[in-house]
Amino acid sequence: MMEKVKIIIDGKILEVPSDYTVLKAARMAHIDIPTLCYMEGINEIGACRMCLVEVKGARALQASCVYPVREGMEVYTNTQKVRTARKANLELILSNHDRKCTTCVRSENCELQRLAKELNVGDIPFEGENINYPIDNLSASIVRDNNKCIVCRRCVSVCEKVQTTGVIGAKNRGFKTEIGVPYDKSLKDTSCIMCGQCIQACPVGALREKEHIERVWNALENKDMHVVVQTAPAVRAALGEEFGLPVGTCVTGKMAAALKRLGFAKVFDTNTGADITIMEEGTELLDRINNGGVLPMITSCSPGWIKFCEHYYPEFIPNLSSCKSPHTMLGAVLKSYYADIMGIAPEKIFVVSVMPCTAKKYEIDRPEMEVDSLRDVDAVITTRELARMIKEARIDFVNIDDEPFDNPLGEASGAAVIFGATGGVMEAALRTVAKKLTGSPLDEIEFKQTRGQEGIKEFEINLPNITLKGAVAHGTGNARKLLDNVKSGKAQYHFIEVMACPGGCVTGGGQPIPSFKTKNELDIFSLRANALYEEDRSLPVRYSDDNEFVKKLYEEYLGEPNSHKAHEILHTNYTKREKYSDDFLDMTSVGETV
C-alpha cells in the first residue's frame, strides 16, 4: 500500500497517499479548486494556472494539479492572494478569447464561461491582441475554431495519449502558440480517425462537430422526399441529458415521439441494422472458423476504428469483418427492400442517422457506402445536434409521451441495444452464435465477461466443438496494445471487438458533453451503459436472429446471411491509408479559398 502523509488544507487535516497532488487531496476532501487544463491522468501540466494555491514556505503560488503533497504541508486555497491571482489569470485568458458566448455552441456548457461566472469576473480590464485564426471546417466530422481555443492542450493529450493518434499538437511559441495540424493543413488530410474525443475533451467551443442540421431541415422541407430517420442504440441513453434529465435516463419513447414531431415520415431504430449485422457478422465468423478464413475476425461497426486500422494497422485489413456498420446496412435496406415493399422510388428516400458519433459523418461520404449510385445514408446528426433540433422546434421533450418506433421495422432485439456499450457487439454475436451451435436458447444469455470499463477484456467461451477465444478493446490506444499482442503472437483469438471511443458509443464523440461537475462526480459510462442493459432486459426478443423484421427480410429479399444479394448491399471493403501522405504539403491549407 502507498505510504500516507498528513497535510493541512485550509485548516483541515487530511491523510492522503504520498503520491497525491495537492489538487487530488483537496478534491478528496471536497475542497473545490478551479481547473481548466487538468484532466486526471491525461493532461496534468499546470498550464492554465487556475488551480493556484498558497503553500506555506513556498516562494510563490503553486499549481496544485502538479504539486505533490509532502508530510506536514500547509496549503491555503482561499486567500486574497490566491483569489486575485486566479482572477487575473482568468482575465488574461479571456482577454484574447473570442467572447461571443451567446452564439457559441458551448454556451451554458463551457468551462471557461462557468469559471468566469464563479470567480466573479466582470469587465475585462485589458483587451488582448486577437489573432484572427481561420476556421478548419474541411474535415467531414470535426470543426476547429482556434479563436476560441485557450491552448489547454486537453485535445492534444487525448489524441496522443488515449487514442494514440496524435494528429494535432501545439505549434509555434509564446503568444503565437496554436493547436492544430502541422503546416496549417486541415484535419481532413491527416490520419485523424474522426472519433471526436477531442470535442469531448475541449472545455470551450474551439471544437465541434460538422453540423448536418441544415441538410436535414432542408430535406424535411422537400415534399418530394420520403425522409426517414434511424437512431443508434447509444443515443437513447444520453439524449435526455441535453434536457436536464439525470445521466442514465433511457429516453427511447420520448426520442421516437420527438422525431415524429420534427416531421420525419418514419422513425426507425438502427438496432434493426444491428440485428442484421449480427446475422451477417455471426455467419462470417463461423464461416472463417470452419473454412480456414483469416482470424481473428475484427468487428467493423466503428468507423473511427476502421480508419485507425487503415492508417495505423493496414496489415489487419484482411481481419476486418466485411460488414458495413449497422446504420449504413439499414440505410441500404431502406433504399432497397423497404423501397420495394412500400412502393417508393429509392431515389426519393432520404435517410438521416442520429449517431453518438462524429466519425459516422465521415463514413457516409466514403465512396463504398452506396448501392446503385445511391448513398446508403444522406445525413448524420450527432446526439447533440438532435437535441438542438428538438429545442429549435420548441418540442417539450421532458413532457412528451412515449411513442414506439414505426413499422414495418418495428422493435429490434435486446442484443442490438447493447451495441452501444463496449463489448455489446461481441455479446450480441455470442448470443446468436452460441444458440446456433448449441441448437437451443441459452441458460445464461448475458455474457458479463464482455462488459465493463477494463481497457482490454479477454475471455473464452466453451461451445460445441470449439472453445471460442475473444477479446474486446475500446479506445484506439487499447486497440493498439491488443493488436500488438496479436501481431507478436503473444495472444490468439477468434474474434475481436474494437470500438474507437473509450467506453464504446455511449461515450462517443457525438454524445452530450457532461458538465465539468457531472464528469467529476458521476461514472458517466456506467450510468449510460446500464440504461442500455436495462432496455435489453425489458425487451421480449433478446437474440438478433429472433427479430421478426430481420427474419422476413431474409425470407423475402436477401435469402441467406452472406448471400450474394447480402454481399451486394450489406458488405464493403477497406483501403490501406498512409499515416503521413506524400503530398501533404500540396493539400489545401486552413483558411485558403478553394
Partner 1 sequence: MAIDNEMLMNIINKNKDNNGALMQILHDVQDSFGYIPYEAQKVIAEELNVPLSEVYGVITFYSRFTLNPVGKYKVGVCLGTACYVKGSDKVLERIENILKIKAGETSADGLYSIDATRCVGACGLAPVMTINEDVYGKLVPEDVDKILAKYK
**Per CB under 8 A, does 481 bind partner 1?**
no
Out of 505, 526, 535, 544, the active site residue is: 505
Q: Does 293 sit near partner 1 (CB under 8 A)?
A: no
129 is catalytic: no
Q: Is position 165 an interface residue for partner 1 (rule: CB under 8 A)? A: yes
Task: Choose between 253 and 314: whose C-beta lies nearer to partner 1.
Answer: 314
For 468, residues 6+ apart whose C-beta sits below 8 A from its C-beta are: 430, 433, 460, 461, 462, 494, 495
Strand partners, 7: 14
Give the integer Cα–Cα distance in Å for 431 and 478: 25
76 binds partner 1 (CB under 8 A): no
Size of the site for partner 1 (CB under 8 A): 18
Min separation Cβ 63 and partner 1, Å: 21
Q: In whole angstroms, give the CA distance from residue 285 to residue 293.
A: 9
**H-assigned helices in 439-523:** 476-487, 516-521
Please identify, among the stretches 162-170, 210-218, 382-390, 437-445, the one whose residues bind partner 1 according to the rule CB under 8 A: 162-170
Residue of 172, 291, 462, 593 that binds partner 1 (CB under 8 A):
172
| Contact with partner 1 (CB under 8 A) among 365, 492, 579, 592 | 579
Piece in contact with partner 1 (CB under 8 A), picked from 88-96, 341-349, 547-555, 576-584: 576-584
Instruction: Give the whole-angstrom CA distance, residue 219 versus residue 375.
Output: 15
Active site residue 321: yes
User: Which has the closest alpha carbon to 78: 37, 26, 20?
Assistant: 26
Question: What are 277's three cell numbers?
Answer: 449485422
Number of C-beta neighbours around residue 52 at 10 A = 25
Which residue out of 302, 321, 353, 544 is catalytically annotated?
321
Q: Which of 58, 131, 170, 345 binds partner 1 (CB under 8 A)?
A: 170
Nearest 5°: CA angle at 571, between 566 and 574? 165
Least distance to partner 1 from the beta carbon of 177, Å?
8
Closer of 164 and 518 to partner 1 (Cβ): 164
Is residue 284 among the annotated active site residues? yes
Please classify residue 437 by burial: count the beta carbons closer than 10 Å to its beta carbon, then call 0-12 exposed, 13-18 middle and 19+ buried. middle
- Residue of 185, 254, 360, 435 marked catalytic: 360
Catalytic residue status for 360? yes
Which one, 136 or 378, has the nearer CB to partner 1?
136
In angstroms, what is the minimal distance from the CB of 191 to partner 1? 9
Could you tell me how far CA 388 lies from the centroid of its own chain?
18
What are the distances in angstroms from CA 533 to CA 382, 419, 539? 22, 10, 10
171 binds partner 1 (CB under 8 A): yes
The residue within the footprint of partner 1, chosen from 26, 112, 181, 412 (CB under 8 A), is 181
Q: How far is the CB of 182 from partner 1 (least distance, A)?
A: 4
Q: 211, 284, 427, 497: which one is catalytic?
A: 284
**Quick check: 197 binds partner 1 (CB under 8 A)?**
no
Candidate ranges 171-179, 211-219, 359-367, 396-404; the one touching partner 1 (CB under 8 A): 171-179
When binding is defined by CB under 8 A, the residue of 40, 160, 534, 548 that contacts partner 1 is 160
- CA–CA gap between residue 275 and residue 414 (Å, rounded): 9
Closest approach of partner 1 to the CB of residue 121, in Å: 30
**How far from each other are the two terminal CA atoms of the chain, in whole angstroms?**
60
The correct pick among 59, 173, 394, 564 for binding partner 1 (CB under 8 A) is 173
Query: In 297-413, which ranges are continuous DSSP H helix?
Result: 303-312, 326-333, 339-342, 359-363, 383-392
Instruction: Report the length, in residues, of the chain.
Output: 594
Q: Is 312 helix (H, G, I), strand (E, B) or coil?
A: helix
Q: Rule CB under 8 A: is residue 167 a binding residue for partner 1?
A: yes
Stretch that binds partner 1, among 99-107, 324-332, 538-546, 580-588 (CB under 8 A): 580-588
399 in Cβ contact with 258 (< 8 Å) = no
C-beta closer to partner 1: residue 165 or 526: 165
Identified catalytic residue from 44, 111, 310, 363: 363
Residue 488 interacts with partner 1 (CB under 8 A): yes or no: no
Binding test (CB under 8 A) with partner 1, winner from 76, 217, 459, 584:
584
Span near partner 1 by CB under 8 A; candidates 90-98, 176-184, 412-420, 482-490:
176-184
Nearer Cβ to partner 1 (201/301): 201
C-alpha 57, offset from chain centre:
45
Q: Does 169 sit near partner 1 (CB under 8 A)?
A: yes
**Count of Cβ atoms closer than 10 Å to residue 555 Cβ:** 9
Provide the mask over 118-157, with x wherever binding to partner 1 is found by CB under 8 A and - wherever it is not.
Answer: --------------------------------------x-
Half-sphere exposure of 261 (CA within 13 A, CB side): 20
Choice between 516 and 584, CB closer to partner 1? 584
> What is the number of alpha carbons within 13 Å of residue 485 lying toward its C-beta?
16
Distance, in Å, from the CA atom of 290 to the CA atom of 284, rounded to the nearest integer, reads 10
Q: Which helix (H) or strand (E) holds 200?
A: helix 197-201
> Which residues touch 545 (CB under 8 Å, ≥6 apart)?
275, 278, 279, 282, 432, 435, 436, 551
Out of 183, 318, 372, 448, point to the residue binding partner 1 (CB under 8 A): 183
Q: Does 580 bind partner 1 (CB under 8 A)?
A: yes
Half-sphere exposure of 149 (CA within 13 A, CB side): 29
- Match 446468436 to its residue by C-alpha cell: 432
Answer for which of 152, 155, 158, 168 binds partner 1 (CB under 8 A) is 168
Per rule CB under 8 A, is residue 158 in the interface with partner 1? no
Say whether 301 is catalytic: yes
Q: Which is nearer to partner 1, 168 or 259 (CB)?
A: 168
Residue 178 annotated among the catalytic residues of the structure: no
Pairing of strands 52-55, 74-76: antiparallel
State the catalytic residues.
Answer: 281, 284, 301, 321, 360, 363, 368, 505
Binding region for partner 1 (CB under 8 A): 156, 160, 165-173, 181-183, 579-580, 584-585
